[in-house]
């Protein structure tokens, strides 16, 4: 106790040790002093969306909740109801253990944010507590999660402990002093029988931590796209605005994970490489790392078939604009695609990186020639360059199931279709370690770079892509960028984006996104696409047309009105966001707040309000 520096460790391990020592030496006479120490630990450990804020989402960041769980479990043994009372004083304890449920994707993966995990590898267990079937004299994590359930009513904690035990109740709770294991097992079995074993999660946005996850599908058809809009912090990387995608049972846009320190320590080139902006699926400005900090969410909607997030963080590059929009769009119950719009202003060179899974790359619309590129040292190689690619070029990752996660007959692809104006393209291979630190297995994975340059700063760029994971056949038949006009017939700026996506089944989607941030202070004007007769006064919209070219679904985000054909939709205020299913025009179905809709008209006849 008198020499704390001798026992310093990752937070909150040292504080937990000191609190435990005081408890052993003076409990219960010093209860008030110990409880004050415990309150201080919990307050700090839950400060950022319920967690410490330390990065390494399935690594360093779980030290906090695991240490707190064991500490609370010890007190709960001597004082029944201790955890319930602690939750009353610290409601964010619920958020601490929900955080690792909410960020668990497909019940198999966590986003590789910061120093955590290995390239493309799974996390098949809930990581917030140290599950063990032989904890010795330590408290049982299974019992701890059950007490959280009893205190909060959150059945996902029961599902988590049940899944961690091989989807069985036998043997629970693995605690030497459990009063009645048979009763515990019966209680768990009853909850699962009544409510099911699957943890079903909506899209989530952890605004303090800087991580948004868009989700769709269920079971083996589940998919999740994520946007990490912060940079730095303890054990963090310069990864602002990086994206990832889990689909088809794989991590298709893997973050590289924990730096491979086995190649010479933390300062060795290969370890440093993992922490740099260029090793992430984001945009590097002038080749520099993003600055420490957290962006902010400027658009968020979790709909029925359309889900969208936009985050902004100009200070992360010391520039004028650094903003990414990500939309997860369902094609069917099995499949989705991503729309990715990245607006950047500042510096004289912008390079967007896409690092794929294990496999081979095939392209269309590109004619690359071998090129010299020395700036990346020994961690990227085999560069080829096309200075003037065709608009709408594609790069397809033909996935190799290197880690053997899929059935032998599986065939998975990820296709990127690019609609960026004035960008050269580079194809390359990037070095990654295979497995966690300690081994020497490695691989070279396909990477795609799109680069724009200016003679003088500030350069402004709008990188536009459509990403589709699919199995043997693509669900999309054609993708094109639209030429947008304002209400007076003038061409809109480069930052205003229109995309048409045609599907193999005859449906098509029309996506419109206004450069709200880049046009700050300018008077609002309509985005107009003449061919299908669309006029939109607002921020962002997505319209699905059926095979007969009639609108059947609309995502309306932060606007006043939308006219498409003979359909007219008006909102009550400019902050309104909602999704409308128009397949039954006499009874439209609204996802989101319906009271923000002023009216829906078809051919002049009002169908909403009903």
What pLDDT is recorded for position 292? Answer: 97
**pLDDT confidence of residue 524:** 65
Which pLDDT value is given to residue 529?
A: 81
Give the count of beta carbons closer than 10 Å to the beta carbon of residue 377: 12
Low-confidence stretches of the chain (pLDDT beneath 70): 521, 523-524
The pLDDT score that the predictor gives to residue 55 is 96
Beta bridge partners of 556: 541, 578
- Please name the residue ranges forming H helices in 196-338: 269-275
Per DSSP, 48 falls in state B
Closest residue by Cα to residue 211 from 337, 57, 355: 57
Q: CA-based angle 442:446:451, to the nearest 5?
A: 130
pTM metric for this prediction = 0.97
At 366-376, the pLDDT tens digits run 999 999 998 89
Whether residue 328 contacts residue 336, with contact meaning beta carbons closer than 8 Å, is answered with: yes
Task: Specify which residues 105 forms β-bridges with.
Answer: 109
Residue 78 pLDDT = 87
Angle at which helix 63-78 crosses helix 31-45, to 10 degrees, equals 150
Q: How many CA atoms lie within 13 A of 379 on its CB side?
A: 20
Nearest alpha carbon to residue 163 among 135, 136, 128, 212: 128
pLDDT given for residue 525 in this prediction: 73
In the block, residue with structure tokens 């370890």? 271
Query: What DSSP assignment string belongs to 565-577?
Result: TTEEEEESSTT-E
What pLDDT does 374 receive?
A: 86
What is the rounded CA–CA span in Å between residue 255 and residue 294? 18
Which run of H or of E encompasses 84? helix 82-89
User: What is the per-residue pLDDT for 488?
Assistant: 85
DSSP assignment letter at 455: S
The partner residues of 413 in beta bridges, in order of sequence, read 398, 470
Here the tokens at position 532 are: 């299908």
Q: Considering only CA atoms, which of 499, 249, 222 is closest in space to residue 336?
A: 222
Residues in the chain: 610
Tell me the pLDDT tens digit for each residue of 259-292: 999 999 999 999 999 999 999 999 999 999 999 9
Indicate if the alpha-carbon torsion angle 429, 238, 302, 219 is positive or negative.
positive
Contact between 245 and 468 under an 8 Å Cβ cutoff? The reply is no
């Amino acid at each position: 106790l008198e020499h704390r520096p001798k026992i310093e460790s990752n937070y909150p391990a040292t504080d937990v040790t000191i609190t435990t020592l005081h408890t052993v030496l003076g409990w219960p006479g010093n209860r008030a002093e110990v409880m004050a120490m415990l309150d201080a630990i919990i307050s700090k450990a839950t400060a950022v969306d319920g967690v410490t804020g330390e990065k390494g989402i399935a690594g360093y960041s779980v030290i906090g909740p695991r240490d707190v769980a064991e500490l609370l479990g010890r007190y709960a043994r001597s004082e029944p109801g201790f955890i319930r009372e602690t939750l009353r004083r610290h409601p964010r304890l619920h958020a601490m253990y929900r955080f690792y449920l909410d960020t668990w994707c497909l019940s198999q993966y966590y986003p590789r944010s910061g120093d955590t995990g290995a390239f493309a590898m799974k996390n098949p267990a809930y990581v917030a507590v140290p599950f063990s079937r032989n904890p010795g004299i330590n408290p049982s994590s299974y019992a701890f999660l059950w007490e959280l359930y009893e205190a909060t009513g959150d059945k996902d904690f029961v599902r988590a402990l049940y899944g961690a035990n091989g989807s069985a109740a036998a043997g629970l709770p693995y605690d030497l002093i459990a009063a009645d294991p048979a009763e515990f097992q019966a209680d768990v079995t009853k909850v699962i029988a009544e409510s099911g074993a699957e943890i079903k999660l909506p899209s989530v946005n952890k605004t303090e931590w800087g991580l948004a996850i868009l989700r769709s599908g269920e079971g083996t058809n589940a998919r999740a796209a994520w946007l990490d809009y912060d940079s730095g912090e303890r054990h963090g990387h310069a990864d602002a605005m990086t994206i990832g995608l889990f689909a088809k049972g794989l991590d298709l846009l893997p973050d590289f994970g924990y730096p491979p320190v086995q190649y010479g320590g933390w300062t060795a080139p290969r370890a440093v490489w993992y922490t740099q902006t260029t090793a992430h699926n984001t945009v590097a400005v002038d080749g520099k790392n993003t600055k420490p900090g957290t962006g902010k969410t400027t658009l968020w909607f979790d709909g029925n078939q359309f889900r969208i997030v936009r985050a902004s963080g100009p200070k992360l590059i010391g520039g004028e604009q650094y903003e990414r929009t990500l939309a997860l769009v369902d094609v069917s119950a099995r499949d989705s695609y991503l729309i990715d719009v990245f607006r950047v202003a500042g510096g004289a060179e912008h390079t967007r990186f896409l690092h794929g899974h294990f496999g081979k790359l095939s392209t269309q619309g590109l004619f690359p020639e071998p090129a010299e590129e020395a700036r990346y040292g020994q961690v990227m190689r085999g560069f080829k360059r096309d200075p003037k690619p065709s608009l709408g070029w594609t790069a397809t990752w033909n996935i190799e199931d290197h880690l053997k996660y899929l059935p032998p007959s599986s065939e998975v692809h990820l296709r990127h279709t690019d609609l960026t104006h004035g960008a050269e393209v580079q194809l390359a291979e990037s070095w990654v370690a295979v497995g966690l630190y300690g081994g020497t297995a490695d691989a070279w994975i396909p990477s795609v770079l799109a680069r724009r340059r200016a003679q003088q700063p500030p350069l402004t760029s709008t990188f536009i892509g459509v990403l589709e994971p699919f199995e043997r056949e693509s669900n999309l038949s054609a993708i094109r960028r639209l030429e947008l006009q304002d209400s007076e017939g003038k061409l809109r700026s480069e930052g205003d984006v229109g995309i048409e996506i045609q599907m193999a089944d005859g449906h098509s989607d029309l996506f419109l996104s206004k450069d709200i941030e880049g046009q700050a202070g300018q008077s609002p004007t309509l985005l107009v696409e003449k061919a299908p007769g669309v006029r939109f006064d607002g921020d962002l919209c997505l319209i699905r047309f059926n095979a007969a070219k009639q609108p059947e679904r609309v995502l309306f985000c932060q606007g006043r009105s939308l006219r498409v054909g003979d359909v007219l939709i008006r909102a009550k205020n400019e902050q309104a966001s909602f999704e409308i299913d128009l397949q039954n025009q006499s009874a439209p179905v609204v996802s989101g707040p319906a009271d923000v809709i002023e009216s829906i008209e078809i051919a002049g006849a009002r169908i909403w309000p009903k």
